[in-house]
Chains A and B, each alone.
Chain A
Amino acid sequence: MDLILEGLITAIKLLWALDPEVLGITWLSLKVSGIATLISVGLGVSTGMIVALTRFPGKKFVVSIVNTGMGLPPVVVGLFVTVFLWRNGPLGFLDILYTPTAIIIAQSVIATPIVMGISIAALQNLPNKLRLQILSLGATRMQMVLMLVREARLPLMAAVMAGFGGVISEVGASIMVGGNIKGYSRVLTTATVMETGKGEFAVAFALSIILLFLVFLVNYIFTLIQQRERPR
């Protein structure tokens, strides 16, 4: 209990003192995971929509691949991204291994199937004839897609939350491709792992509490957006 209490006090002290290192780590975590979530939403929702709204041979196979991707182990993603970005790897010329950009790439790979899988389920869950009804109102295809997205906005927002939650809390890929470099590529999860390893439990607790608070805050904002405009 003392450890937890000490962690709480340390966290408050670190935040109260606006510790530049902790603030830097927190900001980098938010930035990296935020960008990765945005990329995954862009890719996941659009491709999810194509998969959900079109008929093609092998659709079930594609959906099952996406669903498998929802449980992609971060260390496996970390391994593949590392190999791709390695100096001799196919994308080695980019020279971005052990940078925040590499973390964004790895986190995007983790979050995209999550967002895509939930988007597919959300859109397929809409009534079959809703598309026809929207078209019969005189909608163009683009208007139809936007109206379908609006209809599926609750589960789609859940997809965004799941994607963000998946990447802000992952550690394996971030540490493998980011390198946990102080002041450069250190994020909350990798810092927590490091501090725990060093036996600095109070600092580790402090970082965990900040991480939990951050996840709660972001999800609270998403929830407010998700639940707004709900008529009585």
Chain B
Amino acid sequence: MTDNILTIENLKVEFGGVSVLDIPSFCIKEKEFISLIGPNGSGKSTLLLALSRLLKQVGGRLFFRSEEIASRADALRYRRRVSMVFQEPLLFDTTVYRNVASGLKIRGLGSHEIRERVTRYLACFNIEHLAHRSARKLSGGESQRASLARAFAMEPEVIFLDEPFSALDPPTRHALTDDLEKIVRETGITTLMVTHDQSEALRMSDRIAVMQDGRIVQSGTPLAVMNNPVNEFVANFVGMDTILEGKVLKNGQGFVTVAVFDKEIDALGTAETGDCLYCCIRPENVTIELTDPDDLTSARNVFPAVIRDIFSVGPFLKVVLDCGFNLTSFVTREAFAVLDLKEGMNVFASFKATAVHLIPCRK
């Protein structure tokens, strides 16, 4: 528990007799940036509220720097060492300056220190020119900057961010993400952020925790969670568009061959013959060719396919292929134009054995 700044044990939260959070154990290390991801209603925000002691826990223990936060007095002292930013800026009906100063006043800091900190953090979030403006007259991005400045001005040891950018337009969101990342890296504040934006989570996090039905189902480095999801749910959630159920036909030399419908997929891994496995393939790992690339590619899996659907997904096009099973591929707009892809077209789809992540089927 020594280098853990926060530790929870058997945390359980119920609303109206219904369990909404059940976490046997979870630790946050000093200076760590953790992103909490998961579908709506999975308990992410509830976990943040419970961790910041703003929610009555039904059961469980919370340790901050190895000391249990048990009594109301403990909770108040603890809340004065952490801070939280909500999805809505929740600014007070006064000037931006007074908003940023509000937490410092509550915590009883001297006026000189308040002035110094407010000025510093207004500058950090590039809103010093708005100091004397009414918080009611700010744009969405400016409001959230003021809210972040208020939270950071308290120089907390842990900061909880509950989807702070979800209501912002993409350019504002990107600018604010840049600033937040810079400040978090500079200050080294331990951060736990709820987000629905996986690219944001990938970019900023040391660790990603995936939540489902009030439980943390996987926690690991962004690479581990994205490429090695522990179950079908996580695979689906982190963008493994292709999840195919199959049976192991043969194994050896670190590879397995899995029968999926009447096709065979080679994958890196070990399993017993006859085992049921899910083959998970990220769309960015699937390549489309117009001619059979069998001799030209190192990919062990090459299948003739027919293009069934084409969707636009941001800078990419998502192409759904029918290879006897459905397979999804991301194609850049340039490649799409060069290949002149169309629905109904016959192509070849290929992916490497290392691109297939295997998950044992649930019994």
Query: Which residues of A are interface residues toward B (Cβ below 8 A)?
Result: 127, 129-130, 132-133, 135-140, 143, 147, 150-151, 229-232
Q: Which residues of chain B (88-119) have a CB below 8 Å from chain A?
A: 88, 90, 92-95, 102-103, 106-107
Q: Which residues of chain B (50-107) have a CB below 8 Å from chain A?
A: 52, 54, 76, 79-80, 82-84, 86, 88, 90, 92-95, 102-103, 106-107
Are the CB atoms of A127 and B88 closer together than 8 Å?
Answer: yes
Q: Which residues on B sit within 8 Å (CB–CB) of A230?
A: 134
Are the CB atoms of B90 and A231 closer together than 8 Å?
Answer: no
Q: Which residues on B sit within 8 Å (CB–CB) of A231?
A: 94-95, 132-135
Are the CB atoms of A136 and B106 closer together than 8 Å?
Answer: no
CA–CA, A93 and B8, complex, Å: 62
Are the CB atoms of B76 and A138 closer together than 8 Å?
Answer: yes
Q: Which residues of chain B (218-236) have a CB below 8 Å from chain A?
A: none
A132-B49, A231-B95, A232-B134 known; A138 vs B154 contact (CB < 8 Å): yes
CA–CA, A232 and B137, complex, Å: 8
Are the CB atoms of B86 and A132 closer together than 8 Å?
Answer: yes
A138-B103, A138-B106, A139-B106 known; A133 vs B90 contact (CB < 8 Å): yes
Q: Given contact pairs A132-B84, A136-B79, enumerate 19 new A-B contacts (beta carbons under 8 Å).
A: A129-B90, A130-B90, A133-B84, A136-B52, A136-B82, A137-B83, A137-B102, A137-B103, A137-B106, A137-B107, A137-B154, A138-B80, A140-B76, A143-B106, A147-B92, A150-B92, A151-B92, A229-B94, A231-B134
CB distance from A13 to the nearest CB of B (A): 46
CB distance from A48 to the nearest CB of B (A): 19
Q: Which residues on A sit within 8 Å (CB–CB) of B154?
A: 137-138
Nearest first, the 5 A-B pairs at minimum CB distance are A138-B80, A137-B103, A136-B84, A231-B134, A133-B90
Number of B interface residues in the complex (CB < 8 A):
28
Query: Which residues of B are interface residues toward A (Cβ below 8 A)?
Result: 49, 52, 54, 76, 79-80, 82-84, 86, 88, 90, 92-95, 102-103, 106-107, 132-135, 137, 150, 154, 160
Are the CB atoms of A132 and B54 closer together than 8 Å?
Answer: yes
CA–CA, A229 and B95, complex, Å: 10
CA–CA, A130 and B92, complex, Å: 9
CA–CA, A129 and B160, complex, Å: 15
CB distance from B234 to the nearest CB of A (A): 29
Are the CB atoms of A138 and B107 closer together than 8 Å?
Answer: yes
Contact partner, B86, options A129, A140, A151, A229, Cβ 8 Å: A129
Are the CB atoms of A138 and B79 closer together than 8 Å?
Answer: yes
Q: Which residues on B sit within 8 Å (CB–CB) of A135?
A: 54, 79
CA–CA, A147 and B90, complex, Å: 13
CA–CA, A136 and B94, complex, Å: 19
CB distance from B49 to the nearest CB of A (A): 7
CA–CA, A143 and B107, complex, Å: 11
CA–CA, A19 and B134, complex, Å: 48
Please, which residue of chain B has its CB at the minimum distance from the CB of A152?
A: B93
Ordered by A's residue number, 29 sampled pairs between the chains whose C-beta atoms are within 8 Å are A127-B90, A129-B90, A130-B90, A132-B49, A133-B86, A135-B54, A135-B79, A136-B52, A136-B54, A136-B79, A136-B83, A136-B160, A137-B106, A137-B107, A138-B76, A138-B103, A138-B107, A138-B154, A143-B106, A147-B102, A150-B92, A151-B93, A230-B134, A231-B94, A231-B132, A231-B135, A232-B132, A232-B133, A232-B137
